[in-house]
Chain A
């Protein structure tokens, strides 16, 4: 109901309230009719003015409105009334409001009846009971042009109905708002629960996951990947603990590394769809997020942790691992500096340009140009995530090349255990008792 906005725009005008000829509080339709009237008034460029009061004389009606007429019947009267409405307009230039549907206006122009304030007070004191009489008034009052008792009562009724309607609407909106809040809270809880490693799938998720590579879809894929990772690692652990042969271990180690390739592939797709989701680390648990670097773990840190656990290492291996650590560190630094340059460039792009009047086309063109440039820069974020993941992937591969099969197996177990503990820490943290 587009007209409703027109009506609420003058909601502080009691005059508008008067115009709602809701004959009974039961009739909702009259609001619509009032809207229609408002629209026509606005459309014809006529202002809503207090002068509409004098249209309040209900003494002469072309048709008789019974209180218990149905909404549809009232509405069907509209075309007929519109004809009379135009007559009214032609009669007097003083009429600034077309109360078409009621059309009980006095034919005589500018009959000043009473001020708004007076009638408002009267309405507050008036009887609020149901008005069962026919709206059509006695024609004898017509000449006087004054508001009789019935009219006053009816006006009060209308106001009351309108007020109740407004209250109902307000209550409904408040209900909607609180529902919305609750929904947001539930969503947050769900997100938190997911981060704790609980795989929650619902009908909505499924359809979304099929649909694309959005944030939620990636979260689902990542959860699945973690499950599979756990399974493979357990297999590896069994192999290591049971002192399985190298050949057997190699197969499992290779499958774990291939599985790592899989997450990098998934991340690459997700970066295209929603790079900020990856950068935010919201798909990881809080404690993991603490160590987040360009959407993932820092290879150099991981290697530092591993060195102590992988001993004994040969001289060559020590050199190899040390070099690998240094290389990954250097690459990380280079990428970090590139990101800083990007941030700086982005802020410069957004901060240049005058903040003066935005009227001139030159400024608008500048603004759009700035935005276009900034958009281009944001687009390069995906490249940085991709190279960061590339670095992680290459580091894992190189580590595997330097180490023996058994050492690789232990390294992969150590890496997994480390992240597992971080995730467990996150769970503990989220579940901690709070005052």
Chain B
């Protein structure tokens, strides 16, 4: 959990993924489309990946990846991100966290 929090706070937009996860690919694409450059952490290539996955599940992220953090705060998984994007909240969050400027 500490590692998760630690990494999440290091950048305005942080996404935890797995290299084999295609939904993660979709969410990453969305962020790039919005002009953000999120920090990507692949759990399957991290030594403490399993602990991190367990921690993310503990936060209520199901499936565990993709897990999105904006401004250090846990936003949610793919479903939450899409919902927030549709009602415009996602963009605003990114602007507030200075991940994007417009």
Taking beta carbons and an 8 Å cutoff, which residues of A are in contact with B?
323-324, 327-328, 330-331, 333-335, 337-339, 341-342, 345, 376-377, 380, 383-384, 386-387, 390-391, 394-395, 397-398, 401
Q: Complex formed: what's the CA distance from A395 to B83 in Å? A: 9
User: Contacts A334-B29, A334-B33, A337-B29 given: A380-B23 contact, CB under 8 Å?
Assistant: yes
Are B82 and A394 in contact, with the CB atoms below 8 A?
Answer: yes
Are B88 and A341 in contact, with the CB atoms below 8 A?
Answer: no
- Chain B residues with CB under 8 A of A334: 26-27, 29-30, 33
- Chain B residues with CB under 8 A of A383: 23, 63, 78
Can you name 12 A-B pairs with beta carbons within 8 Å? A324-B86, A327-B86, A330-B30, A330-B33, A331-B82, A338-B29, A341-B25, A345-B20, A377-B22, A383-B78, A387-B26, A398-B86
Residues 63 to 94 of chain B near chain A (Cβ within 8 Å): 63, 78-79, 82-83, 85-88
The 3 nearest A-B residue pairs measured at CB: A338-B26, A334-B30, A394-B86
Q: Complex formed: what's the CA distance from A328 to B30 in Å? A: 11
A198 to chain B, nearest CB (A): 35
Are B23 and A338 in contact, with the CB atoms below 8 A?
Answer: yes
User: Contacts A330-B34, A337-B29 given: A384-B23 contact, CB under 8 Å?
Assistant: yes
- Any chain A CB within 8 A of the CB of B1? no
- Any chain A CB within 8 A of the CB of B21? yes
Interface residues of chain B: helix, strand, loop or mixed (majority): helix
A396 to chain B, nearest CB (A): 10
- Chain A residues with CB under 8 A of B86: 324, 327-328, 331, 391, 394-395, 398
Which of the four size classes fits the interface of chain B?
A: 20 to 34
Q: Complex formed: what's the CA distance from A2 to B85 in Å? A: 64
Are A387 and B29 in contact, with the CB atoms below 8 A?
Answer: no
Q: Complex formed: what's the CA distance from A380 to B78 in Å? A: 13
Are A323 and B20 in contact, with the CB atoms below 8 A?
Answer: no
- Chain B residues with CB under 8 A of A333: 29, 33
- Chain B residues with CB under 8 A of A376: 20
Residue on A with the closest CB to B90?
Answer: A327
User: Contacts A331-B86, A383-B63, A398-B86 given: A341-B22 contact, CB under 8 Å?
Assistant: yes
- Chain A residues with CB under 8 A of B27: 334
Residues 10 to 51 of chain B near chain A (Cβ within 8 Å): 20-23, 25-27, 29-30, 33-34
Q: Complex formed: what's the CA distance from A341 to B18 in Å? A: 13
- Chain A residues with CB under 8 A of B88: 323, 327
Partner of B82, one of A337, A391, A397: A391
Are B82 and A387 in contact, with the CB atoms below 8 A?
Answer: yes
Are B87 and A398 in contact, with the CB atoms below 8 A?
Answer: yes
Q: A377-B22, A387-B79 are in contact. List 9 more A-B contacts (CB 8 A).
A: A330-B30, A337-B25, A338-B25, A341-B25, A383-B23, A383-B63, A384-B22, A395-B86, A401-B87
- Chain A residues with CB under 8 A of B25: 337-338, 341
Residue on B with the closest CB to A346?
Answer: B22
- Chain B residues with CB under 8 A of A345: 20, 22
Q: Complex formed: what's the CA distance from A376 to B30 in Å? A: 24
A395 to chain B, nearest CB (A): 6
Are B78 and A387 in contact, with the CB atoms below 8 A?
Answer: yes
Q: Complex formed: what's the CA distance from A112 to B76 in Å? A: 88
Are B29 and A380 in contact, with the CB atoms below 8 A?
Answer: no
Are A335 and B26 in contact, with the CB atoms below 8 A?
Answer: yes
Q: Counting chain B CB atoms within 10 Å of each CB, which of A333, A337, A338, A376 scores highest? A: A338
B73 to chain A, nearest CB (A): 21
Residue on B with the closest CB to A335?
Answer: B26
A6 to chain B, nearest CB (A): 50
Q: Complex formed: what's the CA distance from A337 to B24 in Å? A: 11
- Chain A residues with CB under 8 A of B29: 333-334, 337-338
- Chain A residues with CB under 8 A of B26: 334-335, 337-338, 341, 384, 387
- Chain A residues with CB under 8 A of B85: 327, 330-331
Q: Complex formed: what's the CA distance from A249 to B84 in Å? A: 28
Are A394 and B22 in contact, with the CB atoms below 8 A?
Answer: no
